[in-house]
Amino acid sequence: MYQFLPSAKNKLAALILSTLPLLGHAQSTCLLVPVPLSQRSQQARLVVEARVASQRVEATASGHLVTRSVLEVYKVFRGKLPADELSFVTPGGTLGLRREDVSSTLSVQTGQQGVFFLEADPTQPGELRAYAGPQGFIAYDLTDLTASEPFGHYASIEGTLYAAVTAGTGAAYREVATNRGLRGAVEQFQRRTAARALATTAPTISDFSPKTAFAGTSTINTSNPNGVLTITGTGFGDTQGNGYVQFRNADNGGATYTKAVATDYLSWSDTQIQVRVPSYTQPGSPASTGLPMSGPAGTGLFQVADNSGTLATSASPLTVMYALSNVNSDGLNYRIHLISPDGSGGYTLQYSSSFADEAKAPFERALQAWRSQAGVNRTVSTTPAPNDITKLDGVNVLRFDSTLPIGVLGVTYSYYSGCAVNSGPLNWQAVETDYVYAPVPASNYTWNFTTGAPTSQQYDFESVSLHEQGHGAQLAHIISNTGVMNFAIANGVTRRLLDTNTDLAAARNVVNYSTSATLTERCNGSPFRASAAPLPVQLTAFGARYQEGQGTLLSWTTASEVQSAAFVVESQDNPAAATWQPVARVAAAGTSVTTRQYQARDGRPLAGTRYYRLRQLDLDGTVAFSPVVSVAAATSELAAYPNPATGLVHLSGPLALGTTARVRLLDATGRCLTQATGPAGQATFDLPLTGLAPGFYLVEWNGGTGPARTRLAIY
C-alpha cells in the first residue's frame, strides 16, 4: 500500500510519500517487511549514489559463496567513504560448478547504478552489506530516468529521488565525481523522445501463443511447448539488434518489467518472435542501464521493443501459471534436478538448537502439505543438527538467526552442484537446502505459530514456511490471488492451501522431472523418489464470504478424495475459545480423482469477525481439520495494487450477491477516462491502464453495495 496526500499544496511531499508503505498493513515482497526510506536513510552507515564497477564471486571462511561488488561513487548522502575502494557483499553466486542462491536477498550486476544503503555485515567482520536486504538499493532505470525499489517507484531520479533521500538524511548530498552515465542518459532520453515523436512506424503486437505459459520450463537442457512464447505482429525488425521482450516481474507483483537473457531468444523476424518464458532473467531494459537482476516472468501485459527502443504492449495479459528456478551458467539457463542426498529418495532436514519449539508444528504442517500433495520427498529427522550454522555441510538445517537483515522474514539457501559424465551435457542438482527465519518478524510484530488466524500484528509462520519450502522445492515467484508462491504475503493473513493449478502443478513438474532423470543426468547419484502416501482428502481451496442479508457462504475444493464420508463446517466468534460450533454437514464424494467443489451457508448475521474450519470425516472414522479462515462483515473498502501502477492494476472491492462490479477511472477534473465491467459475481478483476499519462487518478467501484473509491497513481 502507498500513502497519498489529498492536498496539492505540497507536491514534493506527495511524491515522496507515494513511495512509502504503511507499515501497519503492508504487503511484503518476497517475504519482506517494508522499511521506510527515512529509516534506511538515517540508520544505514553509508548512503551513496554509485555504479557497480566490477564484481567477483568469493568463497568465505564460513563456507558460503558471496558476490563482492566494487562501487564507483558519485554522491554521498550519508557517512564517510573508506580510504581505499568501496565494496559490499551479497549472498550467493556461481564459482565454477558450484552455485548458491539465497531468497529474499539483493542481487545486482556490473554496470548498474542507483542509491545504495550499506551497513556493517555482522556475519563477516570488516565487510559491508545492503541495509534491509533488497530494500538496501534503489535502482536506476536510465532508459526513462526513473528509479525503483521493492516497495516504491520514483518518477524522476534527479527530482523525486534526490529530494526523498536528502529529506531522509536531513542533509544535502556531497558530490565526489560526475555521474557521466546519468548525464549521458538524460541526453539520450531527450534524443529518443524527439525521434519517436517524428517516427512514422512503430512495432505492434497482433497476437501471441500460448495464452497460458510456464516460466523456466523450457531451458537449454529441457523443452516445454508452454514454456516458449510465439509473438506475431509487425515492425519488430528483421533482426533483433537491441530489441527485446519484457515481462511483468513476478518478484514485485508486476510493478516493473523483466526480460529474457540473450540465449532465450529462439527466433526474431519483422513479424514473429519466439522466446522462452524466462525464470532466470535480466532487468526490463538494457542490462547495463536498467533494474537489478529480476525475478521470473509473471502474469500481465508484456512488451516488445524494437532496435530503437520503441515499445509495443500486448492488448491482453499473458497468464504465467507457475515458474521454476533455473541456474544460469555461461549465459545459458538450466533446469535443476532434485536428488537423494539422504539415500532415502530425498532430503532429511534437522532442527538446530535455535529453532523455536513452537515453530516446529507449523513448519511440519507445511512440510506435510508439500510431501503428501505434490510428492516433494522431505522429512524431519529426530536427530538434531550437530551445529547451529548455515553452510554447505551436508546438513539441511532449520534455524532462527537474529543476524538476518531488518525487514527479512526468512530465507532459503539452495546449494547447487554442476556435473557432467564423460564430457556429456552439463546438469545441475540441488544438493542441499537450509531454511532460516528471523526470531522476531519485525518491530512490534510477532509470529503466529497456531492453527488459528493471525492478528494484524502477526505474520503467519505456517504460511511463510509453506512459501519458503516452495523455494526449496525449486519453485520461483508468481503473481496469483490464490497461489502460495505468490510474490507477497501480508501481516494478519494466512495462505496455507497449496493451489492446484499453480503450486501443486509446479511442484509435481519438478518431481516428475527429477524422478525421470537418467543415471547420467544424476551424475551417477542415487535417484530422487516422489513421496507416496497421499492424504485421504487433498483440500486445495477453502474460503468464506459474507453476503448481507444472506449470511456467510462457505466454499471449498478438493483435488482428490479417498474413502471420504463428510465435511462438517464449524465456527467460532472468539479465536481464543476452545470450542467450535457445528454449522452444516455436507456429504463427501467418497473416492474421487477429479476436482470436486462444495458449498454450505451459515445464515446467521455477522457484525464483527467469525472464524470457520472444516472437520473432514473418513469412512474409517479418521478425522482431520482444515486451516482456519476468517470473514468480516462487508465494508465499502476498495483495494488497488500495485499502487503506483503501470499498464495494469488489480482491483478488489465489495460485491453484493448476484451483481456485477462496474468500475470507472476518473482524472483530477472528474472526467471518466476508461470504464469496465467485471466478470459476473467476481469481486476482483484487472483493469488495463494502457495509454494513460502518469499522474494521480480516482478509481470508482460499484458492486451493488454503494460506490467505493480509492486513489491510484500511474507512472
Give 62 or 358, the one with higher predicted confidence. Answer: 358
Write the CATH number for 454: 3.40.390.10
pLDDT score, position 521:
86
Rg (CA), the chain: 25
Domain range holding 500?
337-515
Q: Considering the domain boundaries, does residue 36 fall inside one?
A: yes
Could you tell me if 311 and 451 lie in one domain? no
DSSP assignment letter at 440: S
pLDDT score, position 580:
86
Percentage with pLDDT > 90 across the chain: 55
Mean pLDDT for 51-61 is 93
Find all residues with CB under 8 Å of 492, minimum gap 6, and list them. Answer: 25, 453, 454, 455, 456, 457, 458
Could you tell me if 495 and 352 lie in one domain? yes
Q: Considering the domain boundaries, does residue 96 fall inside one?
A: no
Question: Are the C-beta atoms of 248 and 223 separated by less than 8 Å?
Answer: no
Question: Smallest Cα–Cα separation from 347: which of 412, 280, 437?
Answer: 412
Rounded CA-CA distance 239/173 in Å is: 44
Could you tell me if 585 and 695 lie in one domain? no
Which of 388-402, 534-548, 617-631 is the most confident on average?
388-402
Could you tell me if 302 and 346 lie in one domain? no
Could you tell me if 560 and 424 lie in one domain? no
Q: Considering the domain boundaries, does residue 54 fall inside one?
A: yes
Could you tell me if 343 and 457 lie in one domain? yes
Rounded CA-CA distance 572/550 in Å is: 19
Write the CATH number for 670: 2.60.40.3080
pLDDT score, position 152:
85
Could you read off the pLDDT of 359-397 as tens digits, one per residue?
Answer: 999 999 999 999 988 999 999 999 999 999 999 999 999
Could you read off the pLDDT of 246-289 as tens digits, one per residue?
Answer: 999 898 888 778 888 899 999 999 999 999 999 987 654 433 33
Q: Considering the domain boundaries, does residue 1 fall inside one?
A: no
Q: Considering the domain boundaries, does residue 2 fall inside one?
A: no
**Complete DSSP assignment for 578-634:** S--EEEEEEE--SSBSS-EEEEEEE-S--SSEEEEEEEEEETTS-EEEPPPEEEE--
Number of domains in the chain: 5
Mean pLDDT for 75-91 is 96
C-alpha cell at 697: 487518478
* Domain end marker among 308, 334, 360: 334
* Domain end marker among 166, 190, 214: 190
Tabulate helix, strand, coil % of the chain (nearest 5): 15, 40, 45
Could you tell me if 404 and 499 lie in one domain? yes
Question: Smallest Cα–Cα separation from 503: which of 559, 457, 448, 547?
Answer: 559
pLDDT score, position 116:
98
Could you tell me if 157 and 180 lie in one domain? yes
pLDDT score, position 393:
94
Q: Is 295's pLDDT higher than 90? A: no
Write the CATH number for 252: 2.60.40.10
Find all residues with CB under 8 Å of 311, minimum gap 6, and list them. Answer: 203, 303, 304, 305
What global pTM score does this model have?
A: 0.76
Write the CATH number for 612: 2.70.50.50
Strand (E) or helix (H) holding 297: strand 297-305
Which of 384-398, 571-585, 657-671 is the most confident on average?
384-398
Spell out the alpha helix ranges (H) of 199-240.
none
Could you tell me if 312 and 443 lie in one domain? no
Could you tell me if 298 and 426 lie in one domain? no
Q: Considering the domain boundaries, does residue 196 fall inside one?
A: no
Could you tell me if 330 and 472 lie in one domain? no
Could you tell me if 349 and 423 lie in one domain? yes
Q: Considering the domain boundaries, does residue 42 fall inside one?
A: yes
pLDDT score, position 21:
31
pLDDT score, position 22:
28
Question: Are the C-beta atoms of 275 and 245 separated by less than 8 Å?
Answer: yes
Could you read off the pLDDT of 312-334 as tens digits, one per residue?
Answer: 999 999 999 999 999 988 788 99
Could you read off the pLDDT of 509-531 as tens digits, one per residue?
Answer: 999 999 999 888 888 888 999 98
Q: Considering the domain boundaries, does residue 492 fall inside one?
A: yes
Least reliable range by pLDDT among 88-102, 132-146, 545-559: 545-559
DSSP assignment letter at 81: -
Q: How confident is the model at residue 629 (pLDDT cuts 50, 70, 90)?
A: confident
Question: Are the C-beta atoms of 168 and 38 separated by less than 8 Å?
Answer: yes
* Domain end marker among 590, 613, 632: 632
Q: Is 27's pLDDT higher than 60? A: no
